[in-house]
Amino acid sequence: MQRYLLRRLLLALVTLWAVSLIIFVMSRAAGDPRHVFLDDYSKQADWDRLTVTLGLDKPYYQQYGIFMISVLKGEFGRSIKEQRPSMEVIIERLPATLQLGLAAFAFSVVLGVPLGILSAVKRGSVLDTVGKIVALIGQSAPVFWLGIMMMFLFAVRLDWLPPYGRQEAVSIILPAVTLGWFFAAANMRLLRSAMLNVLDSEFIKLARAKGVSNRAVIWKHSLRNALIPAMTFAGVTLGGLVTGSVVVETVFAWPGLGQLAIQALFGNDYPLMQAVIIVFTMMYVASALLVDVLYAYMDPRIRYA
């Protein structure tokens, strides 16, 4: 178990390092950040001064060294556009993204898990068909389009909910459902097939033969075992929610990290961009790690694989 954990932790660190390297190289290849401040009419002296301020006069390996040291210290440089530390901007945006992520996660579990169980138990019923349709849409419709369509239906046509922003409490409904749908669909499919597998196994037959009630068979004996694969997927979900938020926040103008990432990327604000991407990857890697550990804890077979 310890060896396994150590291995996983090491991998997480290596991943973060690889990401930081990719980001560093790419941000330097992305074009001259000085263009954000200056134009062709600016004086040469201004160009030179900015070069020094941004540290662009140093060789690349030194720039990388400076970058790595500040990353390790948790300082990500100053955002070019906002003129203040990137971390400050990120911390300001973080609550909105976490809120959206949590809401979407809750939606995916509340919709996906019961529907998955019920469609397995009542296979071939109307409910099963409904579940299938919901799942198929969730897995095939592009997230951004789904969001726009819901915005059109519920905000433009029916005028029930605000189309974008985060001013009102109900503003979160549309983005959360959009973001959560795909994962609800995945949860549902996963749980359904896991339940079917378990329900078909010998120990369930034994339980039934012993005269255990139908309810206990389904909710106790089967569900506990079917939840294991669903649990692993929950980890993937957490990670996926992070990246999904990039798209959904853009569609609904939700003022979180995803929107910030897009703004920084397209605005060539590279200190901010580096910071956002590293924070995103950290969240992603941490959630994967958390789930791996939980999974190994719950299912001893994993540790020795």
Partner 1 sequence: MAEVTARITVAPVPARIRVARRAWQMRRLPLIPMFTLAMFVVTGIAAPWIAPHNPERGDIRARNVPPAWLDGGSTKYLLGTDHLGRDLLSRVIFGARISLVVVAVTLGVGMVIGVSAGLVSGWYGRWVDELVMRLVDIKLAIPTILLALVLVLSLGQSFLVIVAVLAIAVWPRFARNVRGEVLLLKTMDYVSLAKVAGASTPRILFVHIFPGVINTLIVLATLEVGIVILLESTLSFLGAGVPPPTPAWGSMVADGRDRLAVAWWISTMPGLAIMLVVLSMNLFGDWLRDKLDPRLRQLE
Interface with partner 1 (CB under 8 A): 11-12, 14-15, 18-19, 22-23, 26-27, 29-31, 136-137, 139-145, 148-149, 151-152, 156, 189-190, 193, 196-197, 200-202, 239, 242-243, 246-247, 250-251, 261-262, 265-266, 273, 277, 280-281, 284-285, 288
CB of 233 to partner 1, least distance (A): 8
CB of 83 to partner 1, least distance (A): 22
CB of 16 to partner 1, least distance (A): 9
Nearer to partner 1, 49 or 122 (CB): 122
CB 68 within 8 A of CB 25: no
What does the alpha-carbon distance between residue 255 and residue 270 come to, in Å, rounded to a whole number?
19
Q: How many CA atoms lie within 13 A of 102 on its CB side?
A: 6
CB of 41 to partner 1, least distance (A): 26
The candidate with the shortest Cα–Cα distance to 120, out of 203, 211, 219, 210, is 219
Dihedral angle over CA of 110, 114, 116, 117, nearest 10: 150
Q: Output the six-digit token pair for 197.
A: 């597998």
CB of 250 to partner 1, least distance (A): 6
The candidate with the shortest Cα–Cα distance to 164, out of 94, 102, 96, is 96
Nearer to partner 1, 118 or 151 (CB): 151
Nearer to partner 1, 8 or 58 (CB): 8
CB of 244 to partner 1, least distance (A): 8
What does the alpha-carbon distance between residue 231 and residue 238 come to, in Å, rounded to a whole number?
11
Nearer to partner 1, 37 or 164 (CB): 164
What does the DSSP assignment read for 155-172? IIIS--S-SSSSSSGGGG
CB of 253 to partner 1, least distance (A): 11
Nearer to partner 1, 39 or 202 (CB): 202
Q: Output the six-digit token pair for 62.
A: 């030194």
Dihedral angle over CA of 242, 254, 273, 267, nearest 10: 150
Hey, which bits of the chain come out as E strands? none
CB 116 within 8 A of CB 189: yes
Nearer to partner 1, 49 or 224 (CB): 224
